[in-house]
Amino acid sequence: MIWLVFALLTGAAVMAVLAPLALRGEARDASAADVAFFEEQIAEIERERDEGRLDAVEADAARTEAARRLLRAEAAQKAAPARSRQTALIAALAAIVMIPAVAVPLYLRLGNAARPDMPLTARLDAAPEKGDLAGAVARIEQHLREHPEDGRGFEVVAPYYLRTGRGEAAINAYEQALKLLGATPQRHAALGQARMVVAQGQVTAEAKKAFEAALAIDPSFSMARFYLGVAAEQAGDKDKAIDLFARMEADAPADAPYLPAVKRRLAALRGEPEPAPPIAQAPGGEQGKAIAALPSGQRDAMIRGMVDRLAARLETQSDDVEGWLRLIRAYSVLSEAEKAKKAVADARKALAGKDAEVARIEALAKELNIGG
């Protein structure tokens, strides 16, 4: 099928070259115009002689000169079509032979007819270091200008706007995705989160509406529940925030990734000591109990050793998003802000092109107020 398309395109290119040559014979060339001019000049000389404005001698001289030029123009007119037809024939043969002769080998060398098309999402998922991300986003923006009904395109490009500091563009993209693709808890929550990023971590009234809309569809949606708790905390409604976070803690599975953050929020609101870093909670059974029973100094040393081992493992297994999340939380709890910031940057680089996983890193960085 692809070769039929190529044949049609080649034929169109050949016809584009031949069409002007075919039409050229229909137009009057310069020699034909000269013939008409000199014929009209001779007629004008005759009229002037008949009207007495030229005497016989002057009229004969003018008519002789005009006739001489007319004969020369007629000779040129007779020779021109032969030359024109010969030139057109040469050009036509060159177009028919040369265009396919050049185009086909060039495509066979540089092209790949069997290669499948790369859809919009796959182009964006390519790692930035392997391609020009800014150029890809520019092409997608052009695509969306030409196809503003492509809701999936808006949904795909929105996280890139958010990661590159184009918060308002991200908000607009999420709004368009909601409008075109329909409401889901994830889309409402993503819009609310984008509004929070623009507001530098504050749950604005518009962001709160988005989270509430997410919960109206799915009352158990954890991201919306968490940020509504943050909204209550920011508004100074301590009791409501405690109630929201306490219910989240009660409903959460033991391995829920957001559970440590909920516990830290509850501890801060209740004035209790912060819980041990999530990395220390990983060992189960007797090992976990043994760590918890150690004196404070030994427990901290063991926890730091576990954090260091996790960091070393991520240097070789950098696609482990859960590992990055644990490492960032651990550095934050250990008050090692610079290490936490570096871990966020390393995670972004290691997970580049994986939208969902990078979004989790970004959400945690915002939650823990880790800049960079």
Which pLDDT tens digit goes with each residue over 55-76?
A: 666 666 666 666 666 566 666 6
Does domain 291-372 fall into CATH 3.40.190?
A: no
Reference 229, options 216, 218, 239, 244; nearest CA is 244
Could you give the dihedral angle defined by the CA atoms of residues 160, 164, 168 and 172, in that order, rounded to the nearest 10 degrees?
A: -10
Mean pLDDT over 129-134 rounds to 53
Reference 193, options 316, 371, 363; nearest CA is 363
Distance, in Å, from the CA atom of 158 to the CA atom of 176, rounded to the nearest integer, reads 10
Which one-letter DSSP state was computed for residue 372? -
Distance, in Å, from the CA atom of 347 to the CA atom of 318, rounded to the nearest integer, reads 8
Reference 203, options 186, 191, 217, 187; nearest CA is 191
CA diameter of the chain? 136
Q: Is the pLDDT of residue 120 over 60?
A: no
| In the block, residue with structure tokens 């007119």 | 77
Task: Return the amino acid letter for 282.
Answer: A
Distance, in Å, from the CA atom of 224 to the CA atom of 54, rounded to the nearest integer, reads 104
The answer to whether the CB of 231 falls within 8 A of the CB of 217 is no
225 Cβ contact list (under 8 Å, min separation 6): 215, 244, 247, 248
Task: Return the amino acid letter for 218.
Answer: D
The answer to whether the CB of 196 falls within 8 A of the CB of 211 is no
Q: Is the pLDDT of residue 281 over 60?
A: no
Residue with the bigger pLDDT between 132 and 368: it is 368
H/E element holding 335? none
Mean pLDDT over 317-341 rounds to 85
Residue with the bigger pLDDT between 295 and 155: it is 155
Tell me the two tokens of residue 182: 């329909």
pLDDT > 70: percent of the chain: 56
pLDDT tens string 209-226: 999 999 999 999 998 999
Residue with the bigger pLDDT between 26 and 319: it is 319
The answer to whether the CB of 273 falls within 8 A of the CB of 324 is no
Q: Is the pLDDT of residue 27 over 50?
A: no
- Please report, for residues 144, 190, 236, the alpha-carbon distance to residue 150 in angstroms, rounded to integers and kept in the order given: 7, 18, 41
Backbone angles phi, psi at 346, to 5 degrees: -65, -40
Which one-letter DSSP state was computed for residue 127? -
Which one-letter DSSP state was computed for residue 273? P
- Please report, for residues 43, 135, 304, the alpha-carbon distance to residue 257 in angstroms, rounded to integers and kept in the order given: 102, 35, 20
**Predicted pLDDT at 10:** 66
DSSP assignment string, 235-248: TT-HHHHHHHHHHH
The answer to whether the CB of 161 falls within 8 A of the CB of 174 is no
231 Cβ contact list (under 8 Å, min separation 6): 203, 207, 208, 211
Residue with the bigger pLDDT between 47 and 243: it is 243
**Predicted pLDDT at 82:** 47
Global confidence as pTM: 0.46
**Predicted pLDDT at 363:** 80
